C-alpha cells in the first residue's frame, strides 16, 4: 500500500521545510530514479540520458536517495528575494492538497549556480533541471530569464521558463501569444549563442492549468513555431473547486495536489492534440499514484513530475509509482513506456474511424 497521509518522515518537519521545499530555500520536484525502474520505464528524452553509474550512485547515495534521479530546482530569480510574509504555505489534508503563496523566495542565480557547480564537481550525475522565474520588481521579464539562461544554463540538464506561478503579479500574462513568443525567442537566442560543447540544455515552458482554449492554441502555436523543446503541464491553479472541504481552502495562492489532477490532465490532453505529439510534454499536477501518472502518459506526457503527492504519500511514492506503472504497461500490452505516450488519442482515432459512415456502392 502507498504511504499514509502525513507520514512521520514528513511530520517532523515544519510545513515550510517539507519536501515541498528544501533546506536551501529552493523548491524541488521529483521525477524518478533509474535504479528503481525496470527497463520498460527508462527513457532518453530531450537528449538527456544519464547512464547508471553504480560507483557514483554509491558515492552520492544520500543525494540520490533523498532527491531521486531527477530533480528540478527553482524557481530561481536573478536577485535573491525573501518572498511573501509567512505563513505562506498551507496544507489541506482533507483534500490532499496544498495552497502556497511563497512568491519565489530564493537565494538568487549566483548562489544557486555556485551550489549546483559544487554538486557537479562532486560528481552528482542525476538529471538536474533549473526552473527560472523573474524578480517581483522586474518589469522587463525577458532580462531575468535571459540572465537565468546565461548563469544557470551551464549547470542545468534542462531549463524551465516558468510563466505560470500565480504568486508573482503579472507573471502569468507572459503566457499571452506575443509576450510568450518574444520571451521564448530571447531565451532561445541566448541559449543558442552560448558555447555548450555539445551539451546544449533543452528549454521547456511551464504553463498554468487555468488557460482557455484560445490561450492553449496560442501557446501551442508559439511552441511549434519556435521549436521549443518541451512543455510542463501544469503549475498551480488559482481556482477553488467547490469540492474543497479543508478549512484552509480560502487562503490566497496556488492550489496543488489532488483537486487539480483532472483539470491539469485535461489541459495536457489538449496540448498533445494541439502540438500533434511533436513536443515533449511533462505531466504534472495531482499525481499520487501509478494510475495518475499513467493517465497523464496516455493523455500525452512523455515524462511526469510529482510534488504535492509526496507530502501526503511520503518518499516511497516514487517507487510505488514505478512499480504500478510497470504493471499497468504490462496489463495494456506495452513493452515500453514510450508506446503508451498519447495512447488515448490513438484509441480515439480508432473509435472515430469505427464511427465513420461506410459508403456502400
Ligand atoms: C509549496 C510549493 C511551491 C512551489 N513553487 C514553485 C516554483 O517555485 N516554481 C514552479 O514552477 N512551480 C512551483 N510549484 C508548483 C509545482 O511545481 C507543481 O507545478 C504543482 O505543485 C502541481 O503539481 P502537484 O499537484 O504534484 O504538486 C510549487 C508548488 C508547491 C506546492
pLDDT for 266-301, tens place per residue?
Answer: 999 999 999 999 999 999 999 999 999 999 999 999
Helical (H) or strand (E) element with 257: strand 254-257
Q: Does the Cβ of 30 fall within 6 Å of ligand 1?
A: no
Whole-number pLDDT of residue 40: 72
Q: Does the Cβ of 235 fall within 6 Å of ligand 1?
A: yes
Distance, CA 29 to ligand 1 centroid (Å)? 8
Cα–Cα distance between 145 and 18 in angstroms, integer? 27
Q: Does the Cβ of 191 fall within 6 Å of ligand 1?
A: no
Mean pLDDT check: name the lowest of 19-23, 92-96, 266-270, 305-309. Answer: 19-23
Alpha helices in 166-289 (DSSP H): 177-193, 213-226, 261-274
Strand, helix or coil at 329? helix
- What pTM was computed for the model? 0.87
pLDDT greater than 50 at residue 8: no
Tens of pLDDT, residues 30-54? 344 444 567 777 666 665 655 444 4
Closest ligand 1 atom to residue 97 Cα is 25
| Ligand 1: residue whose CA is nearest its atom 10 | 75
Largest CA distance in the chain: 74
Q: Does the Cβ of 98 fall within 6 Å of ligand 1?
A: yes
- Contact between 159 and 202 under an 8 Å Cβ cutoff? The reply is yes
pLDDT greater than 50 at residue 109: yes
Distance, CA 317 to ligand 1 centroid (Å)? 17
pLDDT greater than 80 at residue 237: yes
Distance, CA 347 to ligand 1 centroid (Å)? 31
Local confidence band at 142 (pLDDT 50, 70, 90 cut-offs): very high
Tens of pLDDT, residues 69-93? 788 999 999 999 999 999 999 999 9
Distance, CA 202 to ligand 1 centroid (Å)? 20
CATH assignment of 8-355? 3.20.20.70
Q: Which three cell numbers stand for residue 11?
A: 511530520
Whole-number pLDDT of residue 44: 61
As a whole-number percent, the residues of the chain with pLDDT over 90 amount to: 70
Whole-number pLDDT of residue 19: 42
Distance, CA 164 to ligand 1 centroid (Å)? 10
Local confidence band at 110 (pLDDT 50, 70, 90 cut-offs): very high
Cα–Cα distance between 34 and 48 in angstroms, integer? 13
- Residues with a known catalytic role: 165
Whole-number pLDDT of residue 135: 98
Domain ranges, ordered by start, for the chain: 8-355
Closest ligand 1 atom to residue 236 Cα is 20
pLDDT greater than 70 at residue 190: yes
Sequence-separated (6 or more) residues with CB below 8 Å from residue 142:
182, 183, 186, 187
The number of helices, as runs of H, and strands, as runs of E, in the chain is: 12, 11
Q: Does the Cβ of 97 fall within 6 Å of ligand 1?
A: no
Cα–Cα distance between 312 and 68 in angstroms, integer? 17
Q: Does the Cβ of 31 fall within 6 Å of ligand 1?
A: no
Whole-number pLDDT of residue 353: 67
Q: What are phi and psi of 195, to 5 degrees?
A: -90, 115
Mean pLDDT check: name the lowest of 20-29, 202-211, 231-240. Answer: 20-29
Cα–Cα distances (Å) from 355 to 210, 273, 351, in that order, read: 33, 20, 6
Amino acid at each position: 500500500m502507498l504511504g499514509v497521509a502525513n507520514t512521520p518522515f514528513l511530520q517532523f518537519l515544519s510545513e515550510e521545510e517539507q519536501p515541498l521545499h528544501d533546506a536551501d530555500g529552493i523548491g524541488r520536484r521529483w521525477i524518478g530514479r533509474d535504479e528503481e525502474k525496470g527497463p520498460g520505464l527508462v527513457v532518453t528524452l530531450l537528449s538527456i540520458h544519464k547512464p547508471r553509474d553504480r560507483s557514483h550512485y554509491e558515492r552520492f547515495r544520500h543525494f540520490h536517495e533523498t532527491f531521486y534521479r531527477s530533480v528540478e530546482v527553482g524557481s530561481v530569480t536573478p536577485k535573491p528575494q525573501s518572498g511573501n510574509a509567512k505563513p505562506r504555505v498551507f496544507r489541506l489534508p482533507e483534500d490532499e492538497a496544498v495552497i502556497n503563496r511563497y512568491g519565489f523566495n530564493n537565494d538568487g542565480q549566483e548562489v544557486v549556480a555556485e551550489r549546483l557547480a559544487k554538486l557537479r564537481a562532486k560528481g552528482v550525475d542525476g538529471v538536474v533541471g533549473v526552473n527560472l522565474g523573474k524578480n517581483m520588481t522586474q518589469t522587463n521579464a525577458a532580462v531575468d530569464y535571459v540572465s537565468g539562461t546565461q548563469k544557470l544554463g551551464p549547470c542545468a540538464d534542462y531549463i524551465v521558463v516558468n510563466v505560470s506561478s500565480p504568486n508573482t503579479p503579472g507573471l502569468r500574462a507572459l503566457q499571452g501569444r506575443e509576450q510568450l513568443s518574444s520571451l521564448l525567442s530571447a531565451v532561445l537566442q541566448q541559449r543558442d549563442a552560448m558555447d555548450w560543447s555539445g551539451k546544449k540544455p533543452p528549454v521547456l515552458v511551464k504553463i498554468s492549468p487555468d488557460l482557455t482554449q484560445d490561450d492553449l492554441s496560442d501557446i501551442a502555436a508559439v511552441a511549434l513555431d519556435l521549436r521549443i523543446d518541451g512543455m510542463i503541464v501544469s503549475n498551480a491553479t488559482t481556482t477553488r473547486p467547490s469540492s474543497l472541504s479543508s478549512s484552509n481552502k480560502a487562503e490566497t495562492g496556488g492550489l496543488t495536489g489532488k483537486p487539480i489532477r483532472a483539470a491539469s490532465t485535461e489541459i495536457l490532453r489538449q496540448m498533445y492534440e494541439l502540438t500533434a505529439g511533436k513536443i515533449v510534454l511533462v505531466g504534472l499536477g495531482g499525481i499520487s499514484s501509478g494510475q495518475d501518472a499513467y493517465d497523464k502518459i496516455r493523455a500525452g506526457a512523455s515524462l511526469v513530475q510529482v510534488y504535492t503527492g509526496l507530502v501526503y504519500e511520503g518518499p516511497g511514492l516514487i517507487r510505488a509509482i514505478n512499480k504500478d506503472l510497470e504493471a499497468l504497461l504490462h496489463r495494456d500490452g506495452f513493452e515500453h513506456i514510450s508506446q503508451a505516450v498519447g495512447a488515448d488519442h490513438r484509441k480515439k482515432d480508432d473509435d472515430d474511424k469505427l464511427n465513420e459512415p461506410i459508403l456502400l456502392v
